[in-house]
Chains A and B, each alone.
Chain A
Amino acid sequence: MDKKQLQRFAVIAMVAIVAAGASHIYTRHTMVTAPSAPAESTSMALAGARGAAGAVPGYLVDPGRAAGQILVVKPEDSVQDAVARAQPGDTIQIMPGVYHQTVYIDKDDIALVGVIHGSDWPTFDGEGKRNDAVLYSGNGVRVENLKIVNYKGNAIMGQAGNNFVIRHNRIANSGVYGIFPEFAQNGLIEYNELTGIEDAAIYVGMCDNIEVAHNEVHGNVAGIEIENSRHAIVENNTAYDNAGGILAFITPGLPIKTTFDVVIRNNFVVANNHKNFGAPGSIVSGVPSGTGIIVMAADDVIIENNFIRDNKNAGIIVADHKSFANITPDPEADPNPDRVSVLWNLFDNNGSDPIKEVRALMVAGLTREGPDLVAVGGGSGSCVAAAGTLKALNIGGWGACKRTSSADIATYLLDKPAAPRALTTADRGKLIYSSVCAGCHAYNVRMVGPPTQIIQALYLGNAQGIADYIANPVKKRADFPPMPPQSHLNADLRLAVAQYLLTVAPPKPVPARP
């Protein structure tokens, strides 16, 4: 075989492998689902679901739960009214048509399921003026089969809602985050398509036990981001034409300080060369365009069996906090990525036009070839399999992997639904801070909004001022997106979160070493 044939063979082999992986996963989901399989999804919805399992796996919804009612909503109706009428266990069925609405679900076990007739979808259109399409704080919430376009804040944002399913939605040009569960445990994000998002299209923030599978993300600044989250699998997704494809990050200044046990496998990570259109000065604007996968400070990440091709900066970057633009240290977070395992992946044509920092490493490494894999900054215990088959840069400290695959990690989803987060009145403010505000406000770095320490300095103990601002924010900064109104929180909760925000303490400095 000549080189072309070889490449073609490799591609076919890869597709076969990915397909095999997919069917393996499928069987697993279906098996888990089979015993409970609540019949809430309509057959029309199912048909739209590209053959997805369709029903809700038992680990996400209590199988003993009574089947609820179906509430049908048409475009002229208010979805929020249906939510108000719904009882836990009910399904709100959204008929095709256009909805200029924002929905907030503060009840448990509600399914928001679109009905798709051929090419007619229920479409939520924010018309460039509404902030969020779907917000939820209930547990066991499912959002499925919706088209969401032209929102300014988030398409679907979860606020401490455990056991969620976000499936088969199509999201375009809808703000800073597309699908954004924050501070949640046990959730599934699958079969969604997202494009035109200014930060991360799928952003898993401060979560545990998450599965992100079979999604297609393109034309975003970041495709899929696992941030300050533990036990997450990102598999069988396609990430192309983003500035960065798949990210596993520790962002400094957030209430949760770690990211570990992340498996990134069986994904297509192709030509993520989109111009970075993140807000200037924000962390995401520091993602170098042309990067397939980035691990920043996260630990115990396994990268296996991905097809990583045509990313012009680098296939995979493993970086510490110091090496990343717009990051300032958090003394409570370990800045180094440790124990990253790059197992067998298929690489092709990465690093054709690397950024200057990577070029400098190439010069130091006496190579003219841009990297499939490059490590920058500190970190220990990382390994690479079959190092000879990829163009690696600066991985002198890396060993050979003992682990050969991640097959022993079938899923990080739980056997049964996670319990709701315990909530006493005293820590309501704290819960809202973690599950809402910290999605955009980190303590000491610029995520989407100004850092918490700056808000503290601007308001100087004036909690009511903050509570008033968030009920009805006005635009203040030309180079920041708008702050979405938090009017879904009642006045007491707004004041509680404002009071808590003012007490958030700086990360404790680590005592200086002698």
Chain B
Amino acid sequence: MPRSKHALLVPALAAVLFAAGAAVAADGRSVYLRCVACHGVAAEGVASTGAPPLAGLHAAYLQRQLQSFASGARGAKPGDKYGTSMRSAGAPLLSSDTERAAVASYLSTLKPGVQRTPGRTTANGRNYFNAVCGACHGSGGEGNPALGAPRLAGLPEAYLARQFAAFQSGQRGYQPDDRYGIQMRTITTMLPDAETVRDVIAYAASLRP
């Protein structure tokens, strides 16, 4: 009977699909094992190595950053200590676009962790975050793949501050074809002073993923 045939077919199909999905995920996960020494087993980031949390960042963003480290569009400027170590020690652990894609897609499925020492909220930080950053990173810092803007919520304050400074000084976003990096460099000029930068970073770090 057609009905019983279907009844058999559906679980069988599901099993095949599930296995396929699991294979991709497992692949990403096993690739990620090469990164845990610095980024942590749950990709929660490790303060002592300076390696940021990666769990729950958008796949496209992660993949773009991995490619940038590999090509030298990120981490190749003198004086960029953490960038240099990611570029020289981290990036070579991944040998191909396929591996980069697999690990990025695996990491994007992990739940972002909550920072144990979240930043503080000030009116100044909130106002400038909403006026400047929120337009692309979202009012909750959730990020926006359509704009290439990564999630900020859940990232440590120290990491956010370092990246902001890198965009400001030109240690990030220095290649002419790095469109998003160049956008971000322009945008760093929109916070009026160092105190506001600190307030905004602290506010971003206070947002819960």
Chain A residues within 8 Å of B, Cβ to Cβ: 279-282, 325-328, 444-446, 450-451, 453-454, 456-458, 460, 476-479
Contacts and interface: CB of A to CB of B under 8 A. Distances in A.
B138 A477 contact: yes
Interface string B172-197: 00000001001100110010000000
Top 3 closest pairs, chain A to chain B, by CB: A281-B139, A450-B135, A281-B130
Interface in B123-151: 123, 126-132, 134-136, 138-140, 144, 146-147
A504 to B, nearest CB: 14
B151 to A, nearest CB: 13
B123 A280 contact: no
A236 B131 CA distance: 35
Given A325-B123, A457-B183, A460-B182, A476 B131 contact: no
B186 A477 contact: no
A477 B144 contact: yes
A444 B131 contact: yes
Contacts of A325: 123, 126-127
B61 to A, nearest CB: 15
Contacts of A454: 132, 135-136, 187
A457 B186 contact: yes
Nearest to A324: B127
Contacts of B182: 460
Indicate the member of B127, B131, B183, B190 with the most A CB atoms within 10 Å: B131
Contacts of B129: 281
B131 A326 contact: yes
Contacts of B136: 450, 454, 458
Nearest to B134: A281
A479 B139 contact: yes
B127 A280 contact: no
18 contacts: A279-B139, A280-B139, A280-B140, A281-B134, A326-B126, A326-B127, A327-B127, A327-B131, A328-B128, A328-B131, A445-B131, A446-B130, A451-B131, A453-B190, A454-B135, A457-B186, A457-B190, A460-B183
A477 B131 contact: no
Contacts of A476: 144, 146-147
Contact of B135 (A326, A451, A478): A451
A313 B144 CA distance: 35
A457 B187 contact: yes
B122 to A, nearest CB: 12
Given A454-B135, A478-B144, 12 more contacts: A326-B126, A327-B127, A328-B127, A444-B190, A446-B135, A451-B131, A451-B135, A454-B187, A456-B186, A460-B179, A479-B138, A479-B139
Nearest to B138: A479
A485 to B, nearest CB: 18
A360 to B, nearest CB: 13
A445 B127 CA distance: 9
Nearest to A509: B192
B170 to A, nearest CB: 16
A445 B190 CA distance: 11
B173 to A, nearest CB: 11
Contacts of B130: 281-282, 326, 446
A446 B190 CA distance: 13
B135 A477 contact: yes
Contacts of A456: 186
A444 B189 CA distance: 12
Contact of B134 (A444, A446, A457, A460): A446
A513 to B, nearest CB: 15
Interface in B35-55: none
Nearest to B186: A457
B3 to A, nearest CB: 41
Nearest to A326: B130
A326 B127 CA distance: 4
A37 to B, nearest CB: 49
Nearest to A453: B190
Nearest to B136: A454
A280 B138 CA distance: 9
A327 B128 CA distance: 8
A324 B109 CA distance: 38
B11 to A, nearest CB: 36
Interface in B6-31: none
A364 B140 CA distance: 32
A139 to B, nearest CB: 34
A278 to B, nearest CB: 11
Contact of B132 (A327, A451, A477): A451
A446 B131 contact: yes
A133 B146 CA distance: 29
Nearest to B129: A281
A329 to B, nearest CB: 8
B131 A460 contact: no
Contacts of A477: 135, 138, 144, 146-147
Contact of B147 (A282, A328, A453, A458): A458
A280 to B, nearest CB: 4
Contacts of B179: 460
A451 B147 CA distance: 15
B15 to A, nearest CB: 35
Contact of B138 (A328, A451, A457, A478): A478
Contacts of A479: 134, 138-140
Contact of A460 (B138, B140, B144, B186): B186
A453 B123 CA distance: 21
A479 B144 CA distance: 10
Nearest to B185: A457
Interface string B103-137: 00000000000000000000100111111101110
A475 to B, nearest CB: 8
Interface string B152-184: 000000000000000000000000000100110
Nearest to A449: B135
A281 B128 CA distance: 10
A38 to B, nearest CB: 47
A476 B135 CA distance: 10
Indicate the member of A279, A454, A460 with the most B CB atoms within 10 Å: A454
B131 A458 contact: no
Indicate the member of B132, B135, B139, B146 with the most A CB atoms within 10 Å: B135
Nearest to A253: B131
Contacts of B127: 325-328
Contacts of B140: 280, 479
Contacts of A281: 129-130, 134, 139
Nearest to B183: A457
Nearest to A281: B139
Nearest to A458: B183
